[in-house]
């Protein structure tokens, strides 16, 4: 399947990297974390229904896949997996995904 990452998800990834780099005082932990999240995202190309459906609790057609402390939110519309957001698991996904 084709993979598409929304501009909002790219902003999320940049913000995650910046936060981790600033908090740790090093870019290495930030690079490792983003690489780990990206491995999870690339996994969805071959197994798009790996994550759980969020039809009933968030939005119809939305799915999620955890990646460490983060959650990848995405939609599958053949032949594309569209990454919508990447959020920390402690954040209120319902509020942040209200307009997605």
**DSSP element (H, E) containing 89:** none
Residue with tokens 């609790």: 57
76-80 CB contacts, 8 Å cutoff, 24+ apart: 76/1, 76/48, 76/49, 78/1, 79/1, 79/2, 80/1, 80/2, 80/3, 80/4
Q: Kindly report the pTM of this predicted structure.
A: 0.94
Q: In CATH, which of 3.30.2310.20, 3.30.450.20, 3.30.565.10, 3.40.50.720 is domain 2-96?
A: 3.30.2310.20
Closest of 83, 98, 94 to residue 12, by C-alpha: 83
pLDDT digits (tens, 9 = 90+) for 38-87: 999 999 999 999 999 999 889 999 999 999 999 999 999 999 999 999 99
């Amino acid at each position: 399947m084709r993979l598409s990452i929304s501009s909002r998800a790219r902003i999320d990834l940049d913000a995650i990297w910046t936060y981790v780099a600033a908090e740790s005082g090093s870019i290495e932990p930030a690079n490792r974390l983003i690489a780990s999240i990206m491995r999870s995202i690339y996994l969805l190309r071959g197994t798009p229904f790996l994550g759980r459906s969020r039809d009933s609790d968030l939005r119809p057609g939305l799915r999620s896949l955890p990646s460490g402390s983060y959650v990848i939110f995405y939609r599958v519309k053949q032949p594309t997996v569209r990454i919508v957001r990447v959020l920390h698991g402690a954040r209120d996904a319902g509020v942040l995904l209200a307009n997605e």
